[in-house]
Amino acid sequence: MMRVKRTVELIHEGRFAAEVEIELHYTDESWSPTMSGADAFKLEAMRDALRRGDLSAASEYGRVFELTPLTAD
């Protein structure tokens, strides 16, 4: 029996972060969940787009955030 759970994977590259929705597949034969090749491609495409600074391409795969460093006074 296979169970599917939708989850959000967080990716951090440089000054950007992103949320990408993926599906994790659980089976009785496996100890850990697996993801589809399409979801793995989505994560890598998002990471590559963030490295290039191509926010338009990155936003096709999920929500993109710009990180702002803070200093404590």
Tell me: the pLDDT tens digits for 4-42? Answer: 999 999 999 999 999 999 999 999 888 899 999 999 999
6: phi then psi, degrees, rounded to nearest 5: -85, 135
Predicted pLDDT at 18? 97
CB under 8 Å to 23, separation ≥6 — which residues? 4, 5, 6, 7, 35, 36, 39
pTM for the predicted model, two decimal places: 0.84
- pLDDT for 52 equals 95
Say whether pLDDT at 73 is over 80.
no
pLDDT of residue 30: 81
pLDDT of residue 64: 97
Spatial distance between the Cα atoms of 2 and 29, rounded to a whole number of angstroms: 9
CA distance linking residue 46 with residue 59, whole number of Å: 8
